């Protein structure tokens, strides 16, 4: 998905009137350029939609200083895949059950899309989705992260996410006692 533009090519790009292009070029914090379907970007990201509507898209690469190239590549990959996928009937008529509302279950390809990511890549992607106002991608990434937490003990969760235990023994004991009445096992 990465576009390496030489000077000549960049010049060429500039000549094309922005309105005629069906892609937008995004620039990561480390200066890499990525091209994404304009329609998908506008549909999936409120921030990009605002930039496109407001004319603040730069043909030479709109600066997204908060997003690194790996995360931006995933964002662009997701947008382009989304542009090509036909929403399944399940997604359109997703039954609003108590548990899932207001979230829609990820599609099969969306699951695969996040399943292949490392923990770090997933973290960066959820941050990027949040920054760009990508509700659907946030749904998919947060769903994946919650799946990683389900059924695990605090110790196991700290291990999975490499979180430091910043409690003293006394504090943990305090929490245990506060909640003791709600638990049979403690």
Residues of the shown chain interacting with another protein in the complex, contacts defined by CB under 8 A: 98-99, 103, 118-120, 123-124, 126-127, 130, 138, 142-143, 145-146, 148-154, 157-167, 172, 175-176, 179, 181-185
CA separation for the pair 135, 174 (Å, rounded): 37
**Identity of the residue, 7 or 164, whose beta carbon is nearer to another protein in the bound complex:** 164
| Nearest to another protein of 35, 70 (CB atom) | 70
CB of 9 to another protein, least distance (A): 35
* Nearer of residues 33 and 117 to another protein, judged by Cβ: 117
Assess whether the previous peptide bond of 85 is cis (omega < 30° from 0). no
Question: Which CB sits closer to another protein, 32 or 104?
Answer: 104
Residues contacting 130, CB < 8 A, separation 6+: 138
How many angstroms separate the CA atoms of 125 and 117, rounded?
9
As measured in angstroms, the least distance from the Cβ of 98 to another protein is 5
Angle at Cα 124 formed by Cα 66 and Cα 103, nearest 5°?
110
3-class state of residue 26 by DSSP:
strand
């Amino acid at each position: 998905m990465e576009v390496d533009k030489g000077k000549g090519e960049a010049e060429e790009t500039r000549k094309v009137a922005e309105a005629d292009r069906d892609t937008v070029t995004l620039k990561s914090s480390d200066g890499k350029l990525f091209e994404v379907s304009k329609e998908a970007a506008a549909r999936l990201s409120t921030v990009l939609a605002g930039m496109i509507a407001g004319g603040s898209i730069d043909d030479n690469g709109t600066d997204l200083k908060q997003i690194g190239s790996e995360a931006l590549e995933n964002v662009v990959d997701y947008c382009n895949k989304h542009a090509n996928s036909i929403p399944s009937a399940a997604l359109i008529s997703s039954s609003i059950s108590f548990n899932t509302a207001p979230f829609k279950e990820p599609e099969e390809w969306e699951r695969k899309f996040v399943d292949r990511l490392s923990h770090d890549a997933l973290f960066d992607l959820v941050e990027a989705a949040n920054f760009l106002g990508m509700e659907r991608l946030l749904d998919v990434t947060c769903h994946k992260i919650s799946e990683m937490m389900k059924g695990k003990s605090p110790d196991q969760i700290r291990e999975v996410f490499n979180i430091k235990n910043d409690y003293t023994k006394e504090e943990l004991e305090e929490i245990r006692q506060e909640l003791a009445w709600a638990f049979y096992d403690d």
